[in-house]
Every structure is written in C-alpha cells, then in structure tokens.
C-alpha cells in the first residue's frame, strides 16, 4: 500500500505528506484533515517530540491519511481516467496552478525543516548518550579514591559487591601497618633513639629528649616479641598488592612544583597522543589500586571496563586457579597470624605508656590513611568480612591515572555511562593529569582542610593546605578547563572538627586566620572564602563556585552530596549537548 504511493510519477503533495508521516506522529491531531497545517502547527508549538517523530507510526493516523489520499486520487481518476498518477489535473487553471505550486513549495520547506530538526535531535540525542566524564583531582590522601568508592557504592552496587571482598586484604594490610608503625616508635623509644622524622620547622618543635625518659616494662618487651611476626605479614601483603600498597616515605627532597604540565594552552593532537601513551601506562599498568584488587577479585566482572584495568597479561583458567589457590594459601596464613595477634594488638593500642610515647612523638594514627587499629577486635578475625564503611576507609594509593567505567543503576542518570578518572595525587604524578582535561565534563577537586598544620609526605617542607591552594589555583587558571564545571569538596571536615576540639589552633599554622573563633563553622567559612577568591582571581572566564563541605568516609552524607553533584553535572552535560 505504501509502496504504491511512493511510486507516483511526480512527488505530489500527498506523497510528500506520506514521506513525512512515516516518521512523524502528530500528538494532538489524530485525524489529519489538513495534515500540513497540523504538522506545521505542532512543529511550531514544539509538540512533536523526538519519540513521536522517530517512533512507530500511529496506525490510525496512517490509515486515515491513506484513505484521504485514496479519496482524492479517486475523485481525480473520475475526471481523468487516462491519468492514473497524481500529476496536476489537465483542466487546472493558471490560478489553481499557482496555488498548487505554492502549496508544494511550502510543503517542501516544512518537510526540509522537519528533516533538519530530526537530524539535529538525533545528533543531540547521540551526544547526550555520550559517557559523562568526571575527573577527580586533589593532592595525595585528599580522598579522591574514597569519593570514587562512594560513587560506586551509591550508583553501581553490583560492582561494589563484587569488589567488596577484595578489599579485605587491603584492610588487613592497613591494620598491620598501624601496628608496625606503633612498634617501630616503641622500639625507638625503648632504645632511647631521638625522633627526627624530617627537616620541617613544625617537626623540629618535637623535643622528646627534653622530657624524662618513659619507663617501659616486661609487658612492652613481650608485646614487641609477640607482634614481631607482623613485620613479615606486612611484607607479604605488600608483595601481593604491589606498588600501590607502598605509602610514600617522608622525604625532604623537593620533588616537583604544585602542578606541572607541558603546555597550559595545549589540548590539540599532541595531547591526544600523550594521553594515549599515558593510558597505556596507567590503565594497563600493574601498579594501580584497581589492578592490585583484581588479584583478589573472586568474580570476573565483565562490565565497567574492568577488563581494561590491568589484565593485559594473558591468563589461562589453569594458571588463574593455580594463582588463586596460592593466593588463598597466603591469605589464610596471613589471617591466621593476624587473628593470633588480636589480643596483643588491642593491648598495645590501649596501653597508656605506649600512648604517651606516641603523643611525645606527635604520632596520630587517627589522622593518617588507613586507620583501622581501633577496629582490631572485629577485623583480626578468621571470618572477618569488610563492611561498606571499612571499604571506603581502606587505603591503597592510586598510581598513574585509573579509568573507571560504570553504568549508573540508580539515580537520575540511571542507564547513563559514567567514566571516572581517579589520579595519583603526589606532586610528581600531577603532570599525568593534563592530557585528561580536554574533553572532561566536570572535575571534583578535593581539598582536605584538616591538615592545615601538616606537611606533604613527598615534600616535608610544604604545608598541605598551602599545596591545595596552589593546586586549586593551577586548575582554576588552566585555559583548557575554562569552561569545565569544577566542584570543590572541602574534605575531611570530621578530622578538622576533632583537631579543633583537641585545641589545635589554626592561627599557629595559618597566621592570616588571626583571632577568628577557632571552631568548625568559622574555619570552614574562612577556608571556603579563600578558595573562592582564588577561583575568582585566577579563572580565565568567570564560572559558578560550587563547594561542598564533606567527610567522604561518611557514606550517608556523601550519597546526598553526590546526588546534588550528579544532577549538576548532568544538567551541564545536557546543556552542552544541546548547544553543540
């Protein structure tokens, strides 16, 4: 039936209508008495949506339309039996011809307009379906990976559950490292060794020798002896997890500037080349945290780009199961040793003399990454399984740039693919970030505000807050990012609050804080203002200042924050898709 209409000798108005109606379903005009007017009106009134245009034809409309056509053709045939086609009637007057031609021209114009609109909508739709790309930036230990894990927990729960068990090994390592750090201080203190972690002016204020020596007892010597096997456990776990498990040691070497990249104005073909090279290095490398975890993964997820995450070396099922068997053995041994140390770990952590020794040395494990010794009773167990909160708090350093793809199974962007880029935050790793700037939708910049009185692990001369300011300035002033949405997370508010409650004064480390009230609200407002001013003074183009006060280890409040972030990023993603 349709074919017959398409075969007409000339492209009459009816055929033209037919062509359009095949792809158009008019919402408000189910009976197309005057289809052209209906289409035009609907198009002008914006009543034709992409679904209606691209969707299935409304059978009723189509049938009515065909009947109309048959009726008109039928009446023409009565007059012109020799002309079965749809050409102009032979007795057409000059005025009628002009009218017909004008109508045909108008029909063509509307048809072309609709075609063009359809093309644009298809294109916009394609762009909207492009993955949302989100970059997580910030200094090392700022909470980038913890934020990524929150995204996963909130929006990709299946992957979260598949990965959760793999973090068990990391948590064991974190706990064992806590214990070994205490033991190392204890040993030094027992052998009366002075403590000089670095050359920073802050740490020079530590003068343990000015105080009377601490008296240790047999209990402490026993604790050291009983917990000694944990040194080897740490080495075994580090060997299993690879480079990412090694924390940076304090150094006084000036490693690099706050932020380095070759060409601030770059982003052309060169940057793509550079990016490819870096991807090869980072995503397929065997040193990132994702790769480290893959070794402990029980399942083999086929989604979320996990296959890109470092499994570049071919593994046969046999070798995999052999490796898994060996890993299981090692894991069992490790768990056995840790579980047998449980009571001693608790005694060590709760001992007042040990506490005094750590205080004198200004060692605060609570503020550092991967603090788990408080949970030793629960974790140092053969049947321990990590909770969601444990996984968020587990610490494994990010090396290079790790791409993490997932389809949101939740929230406003359900079904949408997101690509999150988690980067290593040390000064020397920052040069690797730049190639990822050129087509990113948004950046979450994490600035931890609790360590206003701490130094960078990679350069003990640099204050952490100062480093965040410098880094923030570099990101804000980057021309390639001038139109990118940047969302600032002033993170570790929980630790800031604890620090202020302990009586640590901000002005001692940040003189410009002056005599302001030393409380959380005043401090966050002050830091926020400082970041805002930097953004205002250094952005090539003014942009909105989005800021959230966060403690990303708090999964509930972070889920709320991420909801707002998701919405804001998506709005911008769609706006840009429409503009393009």
Ligand X SMILES: Nc1nc2c(ncn2[C@@H]2O[C@H](COP(=O)(O)OP(=O)(O)OP(=O)(O)O)[C@@H](O)[C@H]2O)c(=O)[nH]1
Interface with Mg ion by CB under 5 A: which residues?
144-145, 398
**138 or 208: CB nearest ligand X:** 138
Which one among 425, 500, 548, 565 touches ligand X, defined by CB under 6 A?
Answer: 425
CB of 148 to ligand X, least distance (A): 8
Q: Which does 510 bind (CB under 5 to 8 A by kind): ligand X, Mg ion, none?
A: none
398 is in an annotated binding site: yes
Q: Has 324 been labeled as part of a binding site?
A: no
Q: How far is the CB of 393 from Mg ion (least distance, A)?
A: 13
Of 451-510, which residues contact ligand X (CB under 6 A)? 491-492, 494-495
Q: What is the CA radius of gyration of the chain?
A: 33
- CA separation for the pair 530, 203 (Å, rounded): 26
**442-448 and 132-138 as β-strands: parallel, antiparallel, unpaired?**
parallel
The pair of structure tokens assigned to 365 is: 């494990």
- Site for ligand X contains 398 (CB under 6 A): yes
Instruction: Report whether 494 belongs to an annotated binding site.
Output: yes
How far apart (Å, rounded) are the C-alpha atoms in residues 555 and 18? 56
Q: Please choose which of Mg ion, ligand X, none residue 53 contacts, taking the beta carbon within 5 to 8 angstroms, the exact cut-off set by kind.
A: none
**Residues in 522-561 that interact with ligand X by CB under 6 A:** 551-553
C-beta of 39: minimal distance to ligand X in Å? 55
Q: For the chain, what's the residue count?
A: 580
Strands 417-423 and 401-407: what pairing? antiparallel
| 443 and 487 Cβ atoms separated by less than 8 Å | yes
Element (H, E) at 546: strand 546-549
Measured CA to CA, the distance from residue 97 to residue 87 in angstroms comes to 11
Closer to ligand X by Cβ: residue 306 or 393: 393
Residue 374 is assigned to a ligand binding site: no
Query: Of 21 and 167, which has the nearer Cβ to ligand X?
Result: 167
- Shorter beta-carbon distance to Mg ion: residue 167 or 384: 167
Query: Which of 424, 456, 475, 487 is the binder for ligand X (CB under 6 A)?
Result: 424
- Structure-block tokens of residue 23: 């792809």
- Our finding on whether 393 is near ligand X (CB under 6 A) is yes
CA distance 241 to 237: 6
Residue 128 annotated as binding site: no
Q: Minimum CB separation from ligand X for residue 559, in Å? A: 14
CB of 399 to ligand X, least distance (A): 8
Q: How far apart are the first and last CA of the chain?
A: 40
Q: What is the largest CA-CA distance in the chain?
A: 121
Tokens of 555: 């999964």
C-alpha to C-alpha distance for 474 and 481, rounded to whole angstroms: 10
CA triple 156-159-162, angle to 5 deg: 150
Minimum CB–partner distance for residue 292 and Mg ion (Å): 12
With CB cut-offs between 5 and 8 Å by kind, which of ligand X, Mg ion, none does residue 395 bind?
ligand X
Beta bridge partners of 315: none
Strand order of the sheet with strand 485-491? Answer: 401-407, 417-423, 132-138, 442-448, 485-491, 546-549
Site for ligand X in 144-183 (CB under 6 A): 144-146
Q: Return the number of the residue (144 or 290) whose C-beta is nearest ligand X.
A: 144
Identify which of residues 25 and 393 has a Cβ nearer to ligand X in the complex: 393
What is the binding site for ligand X (CB under 6 A)?
A: 138, 140-146, 369-370, 393, 395, 397-398, 424-425, 491-492, 494-495, 551-553
Binding-site positions for GTP read 491-494
């Amino acid at each position: 039936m349709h074919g017959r209409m398409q075969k007409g000798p000339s492209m009459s108005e009816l055929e033209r209508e037919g062509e359009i109606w095949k792809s158009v379903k008019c919402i408000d005009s189910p009976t197309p008495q005057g289809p052209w007017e209906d289409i035009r009106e609907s198009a002008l009134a914006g009543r034709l949506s992409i679904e209606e245009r691209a969707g299935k034809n409304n059978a009723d409309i189509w049938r009515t339309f065909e009947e109309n056509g048959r009726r008109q053709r039928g009446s023409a045939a009565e007059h012109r039996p020799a002309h079965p086609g749809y050409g102009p009637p032979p007795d057409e007057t000059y005025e009628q011809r002009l009218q017909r031609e004008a109508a045909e021209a108008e029909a063509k114009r509307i048809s072309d307009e609709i075609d063009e609109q359809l093309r644009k909508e298809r294109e916009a739709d394609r762009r909207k379906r492009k993955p949302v790309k989100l970059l997580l930036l910030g200094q090392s230990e700022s909470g980038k990976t913890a934020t990524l894990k929150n995204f996963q927990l909130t929006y990709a729960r299946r992957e979260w559950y598949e990965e959760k068990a793999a973090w068990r090994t990391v948590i064991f390592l974190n706990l064992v490292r806590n214990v070994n750090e205490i033991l190392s201080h204890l040993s030094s203190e027992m052998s009366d060794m002075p403590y000089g972690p670095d050359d920073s002016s802050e740490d020079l204020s530590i003068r343990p020798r000015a105080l009377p020596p601490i008296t240790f007892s047999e209990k402490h010597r026993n604790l050291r002896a009983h917990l000694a096997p944990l040194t080897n456990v740490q080495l075994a776990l580090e060997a299993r997890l690879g480079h990412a498990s090694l924390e940076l040691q304090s150094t006084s070497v000036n490693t690099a500037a706050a932020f380095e990249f070759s060409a601030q104005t770059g982003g052309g073909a060169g940057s793509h080349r550079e990016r490819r090279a870096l991807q090869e290095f980072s995503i397929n490398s065997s040193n990132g945290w994702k790769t480290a975890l893959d070794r402990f993964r029980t399942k083999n997820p086929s989604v979320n780009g996990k296959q890109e995450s470092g499994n570049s070396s071919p593994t046969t099922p046999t070798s995999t199961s052999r490796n898994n068997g060996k890993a299981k053995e090692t894991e069992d041994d490790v768990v056995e040793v840790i579980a047998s140390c449980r009571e001693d770990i608790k005694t060590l952590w709760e001992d007042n003399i040990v506490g005094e020794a750590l205080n004198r040395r200004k060692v605060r494990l609570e503020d550092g990454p991967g603090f788990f010794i408080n949970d030793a009773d629960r974790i140092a167990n053969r049947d321990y399984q990590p909770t969601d909160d444990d996984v968020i708090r587990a610490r494994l350093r990010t090396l290079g740039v790790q791409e993490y793809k997932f389809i949101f199974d939740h929230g406003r962007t359900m079904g949408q693919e997101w690509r999150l880029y988690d980067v290593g935050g040390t000064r020397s790793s920052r040069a690797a970030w730049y190639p990822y700037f050129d087509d990113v939708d948004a950046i979450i910049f994490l600035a931890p505000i609790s360590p206003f009185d701490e130094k960078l692990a990679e350069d003990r001369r640099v204050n952490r807050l100062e480093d965040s300011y410098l880094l923030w300035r570099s990101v804000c002033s980057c021309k390639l990012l001038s139109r990118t949405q940047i969302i600032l997370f002033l993170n570790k508010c929980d630790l800031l609050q604890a620090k202020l409650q302990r009586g640590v004064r901000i002005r001692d480390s940040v003189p410009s804080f002056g005599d302001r009230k030393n409380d959380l609200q005043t401090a966050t407002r002050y830091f926020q203002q400082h970041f805002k001013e930097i953004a205002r003074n250094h952005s090539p183009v003014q942009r909105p200042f989005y800021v959230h006060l966060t403690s990303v280890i708090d999964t509930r409040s972070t889920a709320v924050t991420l909801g707002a972030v998701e919405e804001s990023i998506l709005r911008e993603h769609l706006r840009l898709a429409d503009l393009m």
